[in-house]
Structure 1
Amino acid sequence: MFAFKKALLGALVCTGLFASVGAHADNAVERIQAAKVIRVAVPTDYAPYGSVGPDMQPMGIDIDTANLVANKLGVKLQLIPVTAPTRVAYLQTGKADITISSLGKTPEREKVIDYTIAYAPFFDAVYGHTALSVKNFGDMTGKTVSVTRGSMQDEEISTKAPGAVIRRFEDNNSTIQAFLSGQTQMMAVGTTVAAVMQKQHPGLDLNLKEILSNSPCYIGVPKGEQDLVDKLNQIIREAKADGTIDKIAMKWLGTPAGNLPE
């Protein structure tokens, strides 16, 4: 009987221990803080959200937001460069804790990842040269459009201009270069990206053909980590209240972030 009670006690202790460890492992915020580092997937090919600066270091809205998050969590920041097609996959495979990569919200993505509230504004549009006669999505039928595979623009242009000849590229730089080199007649990108292009290429003939959507940027989080979503939402709300979010937007977009959706 004594042996049985001892074994039972041991089993209960072990069960409690495993439950404690399991609970700790299930808490993403505690896990990140215990590791003292947060791995953030960011773009490096999509200025002004993320690009490589003269010092060869990542810079942009997404990088500044990643630094904000790391500082508020009290951990070291590890930036993980990703492209549009890989930024969700890195979350699903555990290669990144979160993604801050000008990520828009779609029903398809919501099936596999969770989102925070928005942290930055973003408008998608189709651009072409002034001489190209395009006044609506119907006029795009038969005309070539470059777009980054798996991006919000990819989904939007496919739905709104089904007659267009869509040429998909694996990263944003390739999408832009395809248009600049004349491989395509138009490109589907963010309006802020187009503004950066015009600064980088003075005299560039770039005419807005059609607005695709208003698609604010959200932080992507692995599915089911609500504690992390709640903590990130707290950080974003506090940064909105104290003006930090507006300062980041002013720095890179030249305008405040405005009234971002919850």
Structure 2
Amino acid sequence: MRRTVLVLLALLGVLTACSSGGSPTGAPAGTPNGTPTDRIVATHELRVCSTGDYRPLTYRDASGTWSGIDVDMARDLATRLGARMTMVPTTWSTLLDDVTAGRCDLAVGGVSVTADRAARATFTVPYLQDGKTPIVRCADLGRFSTLAQIDRPGVRVVVNPGGTNERFVRARLTAATIVPYPDNNTIHDTVADGRTDLMITDAIEARWQAAARPDVLCAEHPDSPFDRSQKAYLIPPGDPAFVDTVNRWLTGALTDGTWARAAKPWLG
């Protein structure tokens, strides 16, 4: 409890130091509900946007229950801030708009660092290095290990609309058939049951899906992905105080065992 109070007081101190009239952190006029710092101090609530479809980082089941590494991490941050965590469902197509519109204070769950997102919102320090890799039926292992093998007429590549997986596929493939599929929680079923041939996704998701169905699905080369990317948390613009607070927490969480404890039930 003492640590929680101290962290919240530190947040209040930064808020006061950054105050210069109008919005306490100098956020643009008209920002809904003020900045994250304004809201957290006033309400003791941390609103967290997530798609809920990116295991092992985030998952929302049919009953509405949330789980995943990033859900536990966000809950830890809320606790450190003396706040309660409220999950805000979003989609990959609307995530950036939801963040910039102030519908949440933080977005988590496999958010890749991209230039377009960074231009409109603020990323934390990265917490995961990753990259795109194929996941296929184990019987097809080796058939779709390169982009040349994949980008052929008749090869069906499934994509979840709106995210970096779709962006990667549409930028790199011209001959293969791209099959949009809107539900990322069941998208891998289309590979498993033969409706599609493969999905190109981040290595962490490919590893988890393969581990969940080891006799059916296999990740092609998760240790040597097609590209390299970083995952980070995304924060609305105009609140450097909150960015600094989250970065300090995240940097500590990556070294003090907090991340490892959150990851262990999912990654072993």
TM bucket, shorter chain? 0.7 to 0.9
Matched, 1:72 2:85: no
User: Which residue is equivalent to 2:140?
Assistant: 131
2:39 and 2:45 in contact (8 A); partners too? no
1:51 equivalenced with 2:52 (yes/no):
no
Maintained 8 Å contact 1:28/1:227: no
Paired residue for 1:22? Answer: 23
CA distance in 2, matches of 1:42, 1:222: 14
Please give the TM-score of this superposition, normalised by the length of structure 1.
0.79
TM-score, length of structure 2 as denominator length: 0.77
Give the whole-Å Cα distance in 1 for the aligned partners of 2:61 and 2:180: 26
Query: What is the alpha-carbon distance in structure 1 between the residues aligned to residue 175 and residue 144 of structure 2?
Result: 13
Name the % identity.
22
* Residue aligning to 1:40: 48
**Which range is displaced more, 231-240 or 149-158?**
149-158
Point out the structure with the larger helix share. 1
Name segments (4+ residues, structure 1) moved above 4 Å. Answer: 53-56
Q: Which amino acid aligns with 1:220?
A: L
> Aligned-pair distance for 1:71?
1.2
Q: In terms of Rg, which structure is larger?
A: 1
Contact 1:120 1:245 in 2 (8 A): no
**Relative to structure 2, which stretch is displaced further, 177-186 or 234-243?**
177-186
1:191 corresponds to 2:199: no
Structure 2 residues not aligned, in runs of 5+: 1-19, 28-34
- The number of equivalent residue pairs is 237
Match of 2:264 among 238, 247, 250: 250
Structure 2 counterpart of 1:260: none
Alpha carbons of 1:104 and 1:151: their partners in 2 closer, same or farther (altered >3 Å)? same
Deviation sequence 1:22-56 (CA, Å, 0-9, x none): 33674532332212111101232221111246985
Distance (Å, rounded) in 2 between the aligned partners of 1:29 and 1:230: 11
Is the 8 Å Cα contact of residues 25 and 238 (structure 2) preserved in structure 1? no
* CA 1:197–1:28: 2 relative to 1, 3 Å: closer
Counterpart pick for 1:225 among 198, 214, 239: 239
Alpha-carbon contact 2:26-2:238 (below 8 Å) kept? no
Q: CA deviation at 1:91?
A: 0.8
The alignment's C-alpha RMSD in Å is 2.7
- 1:1-262 aligned at under 5 Å gives the runs 20-23=21-24, 26=27, 28-52=36-60, 57-129=65-137, 130-131=139-140, 133-141=143-151, 142=153, 143-208=155-220, 211-254=225-268
Q: In 2, distance between residues paired with 1:120 and 1:136?
A: 24
